[in-house]
Amino acid sequence: MTINKNRKIIHVDMDAFYASVEQMDNPALLGKPVAVGGSEIRGVVAAASYEARKFGVRSAISGVLAKKYCPELIFVRPRFDRYKEISRKVQAIFYDYTDLVEPLSLDEAYLDVTQNKKGNPSASLIAKEIRERIFKEVGLTASAGISVNKFVAKIASDINKPNGQKTVNPDEVLAFLEELPIRKFYGVGKVTTEKMYQLGIFTGLDLRSKELVFLEKHFGKSGGFYYNVVRGVHNSEVKSERITKSVAAEHTFEENLSSEIFMEEKLQLIAEQLEKRLLRNKLAGKTVTLKIKYSDFSQQTRSKTLPYFIANKALLLETAKELLYQERMRESVRLLGISVTGLNTEVKKAVVVQLKFDF
């Protein structure tokens, strides 16, 4: 397999999106360390401003730890309706250039501009124009990566953050990946990074020196993926309609709950929220999963698959309560969540036409 040099893929990533929206809407927060979500006594940080990141504050750490890292940290409640509103404006700009847009989340997306509505042969200039429009029309900054496939474009978008872009031309892909620290490879997490270090793999060049048999022996099916991507081979298409595989709602409590009776009350509110999300997206599912996070931060899931699709809050609650009483609680509970999978999602495939243009 060889590098497909004909494709032009852009990965656009909004800079500290949730925190940046909060700073834009409240100028008093500009230039200050901001954490969206959590608090200094409970909860988990969902996003952090660049001012907060300098102190080590990042998403997924506890609010308690974040406050310890940055005593001046300002916690802000998340406003997902507002983030969705801004995200729709940003995505509307994307669609001015191509219909092949694959959102990964509210703040990032892949664009295939091999063929584009502007007839512009330069993906780099398109990315620059998109970023300028986002700043002018929305008021936020974005970064971008441009290359021949999604894997390299994703990595490249992080190189010149914030408010920058990086183009990796077809003939530069191998050299770019060779010099890259293995921890920077998209899809290589902390555990895999440590394992690669133990095997003497510290850079892309080290990874490319390993035979396919060696990588499959140590990493299973992922070995083939690593073998190909470090050679610039990643032919995954930009899918204009991502298939939703699950819908969930959860809540972290201000005080730990030790009684199932109190948990039932919380589950009712969570089921109502989940019903709204399912109905809004015209979805229903067969498998209900109850997520339980205990006071010691250990986590447990319990699932049940029904013979029919459900989206109704009463049925969601009934199933969640059944799972709640399936076995005794190990500790007091700090978080409960309900998710639905096995959805009635229809699969639609986009047709991609590839032509060759200059970067």
Name the band, by pLDDT with cuts 50, 70 and 90, for residue 186: confident
CA distance 280 to 283: 8
Tell me the residue range of the domain where 131 lies.
81-172
One domain for residues 287 and 323? yes
Q: What is the pLDDT of residue 239?
A: 87
Q: Which residue has the higher pLDDT, 41 or 194?
A: 194
Assign residue 153 the CATH number of its domain: 3.30.70.270
Which pLDDT tens digit goes with each residue over 97-153? 999 999 998 999 999 999 999 999 999 999 999 999 999 999 999 999 999 999 999
One domain for residues 192 and 166? no
Q: What is the pLDDT of residue 357?
A: 42
CA distance 322 to 304: 9
The arithmetic mean of pLDDT across residues 228-241, rounded, is: 90
- Going by C-alpha positions, the residue among 111, 151, 140, 106 that lies closest to residue 127 is 111
One domain for residues 225 and 139? no
Assign residue 321 the CATH number of its domain: 3.30.1490.100
Position 6 in a domain:
no
One domain for residues 250 and 304? yes
Name the band, by pLDDT with cuts 50, 70 and 90, for residue 243: low
Position 271 in a domain:
yes
One domain for residues 254 and 339? yes
Q: Is pLDDT at 55 greater than 90 in this prediction?
A: yes
Q: How many residues does the chain have?
A: 359
Q: What is the pLDDT of residue 349?
A: 34
One domain for residues 198 and 271? no
Position 75 in a domain:
yes
Q: What is the pLDDT of residue 241?
A: 66
Q: Which residue among 22, 51, 108, 237 is the active-site one?
A: 108
One domain for residues 37 and 67? yes
Total number of domains constituting the chain: 4
One domain for residues 72 and 86? no
* Range scoring the smallest mean pLDDT among 219-228, 318-327, 344-353: 344-353
Name the band, by pLDDT with cuts 50, 70 and 90, for residue 64: very high
Which pLDDT tens digit goes with each residue over 152-170? 999 999 999 999 999 999 9
One domain for residues 60 and 26? yes
One domain for residues 64 and 86? no
Share of the chain above pLDDT 70, in %: 95
Q: What is the pLDDT of residue 58?
A: 92
The arithmetic mean of pLDDT across residues 215-232, rounded, is: 93
One domain for residues 292 and 330? yes
Position 355 in a domain:
no
One domain for residues 166 and 149? yes
**Residue 208 — left, alpha, or beta (φ > 0 → left; ψ -120 to 50 → alpha)?**
alpha
Last residue of a domain, one of 62, 79, 96: 79
Catalytic residue at 108?
yes
